[in-house]
Amino acid sequence: MAPKQNEKCIRNTTIKVRLYPTPEQAVLFDKTFGCCRYLWNQMLADEERFYHETDMHFIPTPAKYKAGAPFLKEVDSGALAAVHQNLRKAFQHFFDNPSSYRHPTYKKKKHCKNSFTSYCQYYPSGKGASIYLTQDGIRLPKAGIVKANLYRKPLHWWTLKSATVSKTPSGKYFCSLMFEYAEKPVALVPPTPETTLGLNYSLSHFYIDSNGRAADAPHWMQQSQDKLIRMQQRLTRMQRGSHNYDQQLLKIQRLHEHIANQRKDFVHKESRRIANAWNAVCIKDTNLVEMAQQIKLGNIMDAGYGKFRICLQYKLERLGKPYIVVEKYFPSAKTCHRCGSVNEALSPNAKRWICPACGAVHDRGKNAAINLRDKGLEQYYGT
Ligand SMILES: [Zn+2]
């Protein structure tokens, strides 16, 4: 099979920036989070009632609720329209693929993300848009210009599609700006074993590649993790509800966010390094349920592996390089990459092993990564 040439396509990209709202703007955002949650729950209840009575699916539009709940008029109507769209999408996902998606559920104030999305409206004859960027801020409907740290500017041919405002548990506001742009086709370089990297997921090393390189979590991440454990221990000795307790809890929430940022930073840098250096990457399809169980074991990098794969895929694809997924039942660990025999007796804990068929000495992770690389290339070329 000849490698496919990339077709010209529409891409999305997001820039997430910190917002610095005035107290009035912060109140408006908090109100909008509440209104969106309220509207979601109302629409979901009406959908369920309608379905119960008529056996048909229907979600009323936000306008229907404004008379009974005048506070909805105080917030961005675009955000309310987005709730309607999101609920429709959630039902669509569930109807199309009930084994992977849950039926939409009610949002509880305590256990739901504080966020709302507003789609950008473009007014006819060049009269501007409902959302746009200024020198050091973002214009949002109802809120006006909100101060923002625009550390990265969009390219001039990008079109702003939407803005999602969110608030972290420690009270910081962020805005994710989504842009759309058309991309020119990229010339595809056919991958060879020398220019292809196999990646094997590793619980203790994040991953081990087909050259035997392990990507350990950086030292500074381990330091944050140790600090978090100490802070949590201190919290357990404090009186619940006291001033000190609340202060400590806030510190812990901030550190959690800091660790999440460190992880994101590491994942982006690692995936960028690989995407630039290699012409193709082969990786095993992972069982997300098994992954979730492993995450509970508490390695700090585990939560980042899913994100790492997503980053790696889009970074490679934007460079016109293949990201090859090998099916999850392929016995990458038990197969000898030298002679191809499968060692069924291999213990799951063995780090090193000797092939009973050919006598080759294997490092478990490296051998598995080499097998993934070879299997992936075989798949890619259809041999
Ligand atoms: Zn062998």
Give the pair of three-digit tokens for residue 327: 């099916």
User: 206 CA distance to ligand 1 centroid (A)?
Assistant: 26
Residue 145 has a pLDDT of: 96
Q: Is residue 77 part of a domain?
A: yes
Name the strand (E) or helix (H) holding 231. Answer: helix 219-236
Residue 320 — very low, low, confident or very high, per pLDDT cuts 50/70/90?
confident
Query: In this structure, are 14 and 146 located in the same domain?
Result: yes
Q: What is the pLDDT of residue 3?
A: 42
Find the mean pLDDT for residues 22-30. 96
Other C-beta atoms lying within 10 Å of the C-beta of residue 283: 23
Is residue 221 in a domain? Answer: yes
* 191 Cα–ligand 1 center, Å: 25
pLDDT at 383 over 50: yes
Distance from Cα 325 to the centre of ligand 1, integer Å: 24
Average pLDDT over residues 95-105: 82
Mean pLDDT of the region 175-180: 96
Residue type, 375: K
Residues 64 and 108 in one domain: yes
- pLDDT at residue 289, as a whole number: 56
Q: Which residues does 29 contact at the CB level (< 8 Å), separation at least 6?
A: 21, 116, 143, 165, 167, 173
Distance 329 CA to ligand 1 centre (A): 20
Do 210 and 269 belong together in one domain? yes
Query: Domain boundary at 154, 183, 212, which?
Result: 183
Give the model's pLDDT for residue 1.
40
Whether 179 and 204 share a structural domain: no
Question: What spacing in Å lies between the alpha carbon of 337 and ligand 1's midpoint?
Answer: 7
Regarding whether 96 and 205 lie in a shared domain, the answer is no
The verdict on 161 and 249 lying in the same domain is no
Distance 349 CA to ligand 1 centre (A): 19
What count of Cα atoms within 13 Å lies in the side-chain half-sphere of residue 359? 0
pLDDT at 8 over 90: no
Q: Assign 123 a pLDDT band (cuts: 50, 70, 90).
A: confident
At residue 110, does pLDDT exceed 80?
Answer: no
At a CB cut-off of 8 Å and minimum separation 6, what does 237 contact? none
Do 18 and 158 lie in a common domain? yes
pLDDT (average), residues 239-267: 90
Rounded to the nearest angstrom, the distance between the alpha carbon of 356 and the centre of ligand 1 is 7
DSSP run (H or E) holding 53? helix 23-54
pLDDT of 36 strictly over 70: yes
Match 């390189």 to its residue by tokens.
Answer: 213
Mean confidence (pLDDT) of the chain = 88
pLDDT at 215 over 80: yes
CA–centroid distance, residue 282 to ligand 1 (Å): 21
| Number of other residues whose CB lies within 10 A of the CB of residue 113 | 12
Q: Does residue 317 sit within a domain?
A: yes
Task: Please indicate, yes or no, whether residues 225 and 275 belong to a single structural domain of this protein.
Answer: yes
Q: Residue 165, Cα to own-chain centre: how many angstroms?
A: 16
Find out whether 165 and 245 touch, Cβ atoms under 8 Å: no
The answer to whether residue 208 scores a pLDDT higher than 60 is: yes
pLDDT tens per residue, range 47-78: 999 998 888 888 988 888 988 898 999 999 99
**pLDDT at res. 293:** 60
**What proportion of the chain, given as a percentage, has pLDDT over 70?**
93
Full residue range of the structural domain in which residue 18 is found: 9-183
The domain boundary, picked from 150, 183, 216, lies at 183
Residue 188: inside a domain: no
Number of separate domains in the chain: 2
d(CA 195, ligand 1 centre) in Å: 24
Ligand 1 centroid to residue 365 C-alpha, Å: 15
The pLDDT of residue 280 is 95
Nearest CA-CA partner of 207 in 197, 221, 219: 197
159: its two tokens: 């079109």
- Does 23 share its domain with 148? yes
Does residue 303 or residue 86 have the better pLDDT?
86
The DSSP output letter for 188 is: P
Q: What pLDDT digit, counting tens, does each position of 259-310 carry?
A: 888 888 999 999 999 999 999 999 998 765 566 565 555 554 556 788 889 8
| d(CA 334, ligand 1 centre) in Å | 10
| CA of residue 38 to ligand 1 center, whole Å | 62
Distance 369 CA to ligand 1 centre (A): 15
> Do 200 and 163 sit in the same domain of this protein?
no
Same domain, 308 and 370: yes
CA distances in angstroms from 129 to 5, 132, 159, 269, 331, listed in the order given: 36, 6, 11, 34, 54
Q: What would the mean pLDDT of 232-242 be, rounded to a whole number?
A: 92
Model confidence at 185: pLDDT above 70: no
Average of pLDDT values for 353-360?
Answer: 94
Query: How far is 187 from 177, CA to CA, in rounded Å?
Result: 29
Helices (H), 240-326: 243-277, 288-296, 302-318
How much is the pLDDT for 146? 97
What pLDDT is recorded for position 2? 40
Residues measured by CB to lie within 5 Å of ligand 1, the ion: 336, 338-339, 355, 357-358, 360
From 135, 152, 183, give the residue that closes a domain.
183
pLDDT band with cut points at 50, 70 and 90 for residue 358: very high
Same-domain status, 229 and 372? yes
